[in-house]
Structure 1
Amino acid sequence: MPKEEEAAARISKDQDRGWAWVVLVATVIVQGLTLGFPSCTGVFFKDLQRDFQASNSQTSWFPSIMTAVLHAGGPLCSILVERFGCRTTVMLGGLLSGVGMVASAFSKSISHLYITAGFITGLGSCFSFQAGVTVLGYYFIRRRALANALASTGVSIGLTLWPLFSQYMLDEMGWRNTFLIFGGVLLNCCVCGAVMRPVVPVQLPAPSSKPYPEQPPEGAYLCASCIQTLQKYLAFDVFCKNKGYQIYTIGVSWMVMGFVLPLIYLVPYAIFNGVPERKAALLISIIGFINIFMRPMAGLLSGLNVFTGRRIYLFSLAVLLNGLSNLICAISADYTVLVFYCLVYSVSMSVIGALLFQVLMDVVEMDRFSSALGLFTILESVTILIGPPLAGLLVDITGHYSYVFYASTFFMVTSAVFMGLSFCTMKAKNKLKETHKLLSPEVPSRGKYMEVPTEQGPNRNDPPAVIYITILSPVGIPHHCRLPVSYRANSEWVYKL
């Protein structure tokens, strides 16, 4: 059998069945190890502050750098996937994540954590997560939506287990030994990557023995290559031309400044107000546990026909409710109130997580989705990076964690109002433009009119002839009405204004 036919047969055998489900399980584990991991950082907040004599603002840089790099590394991960394939990229990410956490255990200052746990572990998590999601697109065709919905439960499982595991290990072994063990746990991404055998063989560019004639100058060549790479992985042209993508990107970038704050500061806030450490860590696990069930349900709900073209409004409503729920936490730190807050917060968080990339697919053409996603995550990572340190500075100045949740409410609510009103206005303008096109397919020059006389019959009893005069308003909008101005014989003059 020729190699092409053998490859085609293997692809057909693997897709949507058999080994595809093994890859799906591996992707669920990868998402739990990567996207779910930053949720446990709040457990170590007080210990890191004490050992390094660091302020809230200084300590919060460590999780914010990790989360920001996890999002910002998307374009670099795409290049690695294109060059080496998903399997190698996932394994490389697992290796980087493990090395970063092992190195963090030997940190001498809080700034060392920024590089090891923040940058190295964050970048490794990005490689493993994005490449793991990408490989599902090769293994699932007919059941791709189901596969992505099931894979997203890995994040919720991670949110549930990481805080509990972290608190237990911290109590038993201290944060340095816990970070060492975390390094070994994150190396399991390499095992998950190993089972993601390539469905489509990776095409490595073959070196050409022929010299290129008339090579341009090296500087010009590098400049052209950079521009081409930016166009491929960062959709600046789409951002400038697509109003919906522009509104959504700005709105989400502003939103995440407040969205990540509760996951980082909820545990320190509870401990500060007298809640035992293990019960405080349980709050994050409650959020993750509810997400396991609510996120797939939210995805199925948003797929109903009634929400077609309206998902952005459902998303904006979820952002609004998420922001307002933070007021519950800010008003009272009683443990019962905090548990109720986690229930409300997790429901709205599930809808946001389920719709975040689905809405992006609605506003951007699919042939440009990959590059649009690259720019989207880059801009999003900038605000993720600065949000927690600013909140930490607010705590250092005021001495109260409740202001963090007020700040989160401000960012979430203003973002929801901005996106909802902007899309409503844009939709109304588009409808108005379509109406104008239907009513006046050919617009004559402004200030002129046309006369179209009907033929007058010889008989005086014939129906009246009508002369249509089209006059444009000063803004170019035609109006439709019948205004008889004079009667001569059986002729009627009608202005069509």
Structure 2
Amino acid sequence: MTKDSANIDKDQTPRTKCRKKEFVPPDGGWGWIVCFTSLMANGTALSILNIFGILYVYLLEEYTSDDPFIFFKTSWIGSTCTIVTSLITVFARSWSEQYGIRLTAFFGAALGVIGLFSSAFMQQLELLYLTFGLILGVGGGLISFTSIVILEHYFKEHMGIAIGIVSMGSSICTVCLSIVLPFILESLGIKYTFIILGGLYCMLLLCSLTWKPLFHRKSENPALLLYKETHFVNRCSCSTKHRLNWKIFKNRTYLVWFLGFIFALFGYSVPIVHLVKHTQDAFPGSYAFILITCLQITSGLGSVIFKKIADFKCVNNIYMQQCAFVLNGVLTVSIPFSESFEGLIIICLLLGVCDGIIMCSVDHTVFDIVGPSDASQATSFLLCGVSIPFAVGPPMAGLLYGHLHTYKIAYVVAGVPPIIGAIIMCIIPRVQGSSPASTETYAFGSTTILDIDLASPSKLGSRKGYSPDD
């Protein structure tokens, strides 16, 4: 080796070395089987949360009592599951790295089966906090997280398509369950419904077995080897960060948007849980469950359509979120004042569109505010932050209904936070945001579908101000 060549090797940047050892996913083949099973797993885990409003009505019938707090207590079952599912994804990352994606997913599916089967035999309502809330919540969080992370082992060029397919799983499964579940509940009761849902979760055990992680066995780059499995690290990233970057909150633009978004979600989920019960009270004999179906259909379609719209550089994602939050608040307030069942259907269709807009624009907003290097961490903070306000709304609405025997005040109160949250976001244009962090190294910390979407090479290359070769 000559002296000049030695100097070239010595001066070779870590970025160049990283590119030489970059793992290249197969982009197809068995990956499409993995994509389908991920759709089933993610959709099943999240759809059970989405249809809790249907289960809520039959839980009230099963555990009926003269206790005025029965509506409050029952609402907390679904809220507990929501909180646990959201928070557990933070730990799911390290568990999947230490024990493997497939083992973590299988364990999550097994917990879901145990939680649902045991819920069928609970004689006291409070015990459902443990079985449905905690055990199912942990299982659902693990299975939904791993169903997204595994895609990075199989896709690169088609990552956007794979993510889009899997993200539709929640809406597809929720629509199917919202149609079928009422007939099962009416014919067999809540006990056997839990058993059937547990059997559905057994299918996820088989789905998780198809998730064989891929890794570059001959790679000498230890940054690509995480315990026994390897995750595809973002392009040009030669290290994995496992620390929390609290400096993100020094970005005042992100802080204001974070606080506004968090506040807007207080009461956001009230219609999802209490809509069926309110409709049965206001319009006896109507097929109230169809409202959940309508909401999920337009939510899925809205997410797909407005995600494409959000890609345009001329679109301000924060303004789009603000409009959606304001409309969501107005529609929520109008629910108890609807004088016809058809009016409620229209309201639910529009609520679904608002939900699709809000959720699909989160990843773009985070990316634009903090930059690509901190996008995953910023979304992780957001995920943890929204779990509490998203979950406390339904119990508070149940508490008001238990004492007032009407949902009018509950829906009016629930409609105010989204509007106030949108107003808080109006401060953002006046705030001087700190410069985005350096884009040379990306932190691997995916916790939701939004994070994977941000991490995909197609996403990084499509956003303004970023070039994959920078």
- Give the structure-2-normalised TM-score: 0.78
Alignment partner of 1:300 is 2:311: no
2:103 pairs with 1:88: yes
Instruction: Give, in whole Å, the separation in 2 of the partners of 1:193 and 1:10.
Output: 26
Q: What is the CA distance between 1:105 and its match in structure 2?
A: 0.6
Match of 1:400 in 2: 406
1:190 Cα offset (Å): 1.8
Residue in structure 2 matched with residue 422 of structure 1 by the alignment: 427
SS of the aligned residue for 1:257 comes to coil
- Structure number with the higher strand fraction is 1
Matched with 2:161 is 146
- Note the alpha carbon deviations across 1:365-389, whole angstroms, 9 max, x for none: 3333333333222221122232221
Greater shift in the superposed pair: 120-129 or 318-327: 318-327
- In structure 1, distance between residues paired with 2:370 and 2:208: 30
- Residue 29 (structure 1) aligned with residue 37 (structure 2): no
2:257 matched to which residue of 1? 248
C-alpha change, 1:369 and 1:233, in structure 2 (3 Å) is: farther
* Equivalent residues of 2:86, 2:387 under 8 A apart: yes
Q: Deviations over 1:176-218 (max 9, x none)?
A: 1110111111122222211111022764289xxxxxxxxxxxx
In 2, Cα distance between the equivalents of 1:183 and 1:378?
Answer: 27
Superposition deviation, residue 286 in structure 1:
1.2
AA paired with 1:305?
Answer: K
- Letter aligned with residue 327 of structure 1: V
Is the contact between residue 39 and residue 162 of structure 1 (CA under 8 Å) also seen in structure 2? Answer: no
Is 2:131 the partner of 1:125?
A: no
1:379 aligns with 2:379: no
CA contact (8 A) 1:233 1:372 kept: no
One-letter code aligned to 2:398: G
Measure how far apart 1:331 and its partner are.
Answer: 1.1
Please say if residues 159 and 287 of structure 1, whose CA atoms lie closer than 8 Å, have aligned partners that are also in contact: no
Matched to 1:21, the amino acid is: W
Equivalent residue for 2:202, pick from 161, 165, 187: 187
Equivalent runs, 1:274-313 vs 2, <5 Å: 274-276=283-285, 279-307=287-315, 310-313=316-319
SS in 1 for 2:406: coil
Answer whether contact 2:270 2:411 (CA < 8 A) is retained. Answer: yes
Displacement after TM superposition at 1:129 (Å)? 0.7
Q: Residue 182 of structure 1 aligns to a residue in which SS?
A: helix
- In 1, Cα distance between equivalents of 2:201 and 2:144: 12
Conserved in 2, the CA contact under 8 Å of 1:257 and 1:384?
yes
Residue 242 of structure 2: aligned partner: 232
State the structure with bigger RCO (CA 8 A, min sep 6), 1 or 2: 2
Question: What's the offset of the Cα at 1:260?
Answer: 1.0
Offset of 1:46 from its aligned partner?
3.1
User: Does the aligned pair in 2 maintain the 1:86–1:135 contact within 8 Å?
Assistant: yes
Supply the AA of the counterpart residue of 2:242: K
One-letter code of the match for 2:143?
S
Cα distance change, pair 59–246 in 1 and its aligned pair in 2 (3 A): same
Unaligned runs of 5+ in 2: 1-19, 217-224, 230-240, 436-470
Letter in 2 for 1:252: F
Instruction: List aligned pairs for 1:34-433, cutoff 5 A.
Output: 34-52=45-63, 53=65, 55-200=70-215, 203-204=226-227, 232=242, 234-239=244-249, 241-276=250-285, 279-307=287-315, 310-419=316-425, 421-426=426-431
Paired with 1:366 and 1:108, the residues of 2 have a C-alpha distance of 50
- Residue 272 of structure 1 and its aligned partner are, at CA, apart by 1.2
Deviation at 1:106, TM superposition (A): 0.9
| More displaced stretch, 117-126 vs 384-393 | 384-393
Supply the AA of the counterpart residue of 1:257: F
Partner Cα separation in structure 1 for residue 161 and residue 294 of structure 2: 25
- SS of aligned partner of 2:266: helix
* In 1: Cα distance, 2:386 partner to 2:359 partner: 14
* Percent of residue pairs identical: 23
Q: Tell me: CA distance 1:430–1:369, structure 2 relative to 1, closer, same or farther (3 Å).
A: closer
Give the residue type in structure 2 aligned to 1:72.
L
Alpha-carbon distance change, 20 to 10 in structure 1, aligned in 2, over 3 angstroms: farther
Distance 1:258 1:59 in 2: 16
Q: Secondary structure at the match of 2:289?
A: helix
Q: CA deviation at 1:340?
A: 0.8
For 1:291, the aligned partner's letter is S
**RMSD of aligned alpha carbons:** 2.4
Compare CA radii of gyration and give the structure with the larger one.
1
Query: Is the Cα–Cα contact under 8 Å of residues 115 and 132 in structure 2 kept in the other structure?
Result: yes
Deviations 1:39-75 (A, max 9, x none): 2212232332233225211110001111111111121
Measure the CA separation in 1 of the matches of 2:396 and 2:228: 46
Report the TM-score when normalising by structure 1: 0.74
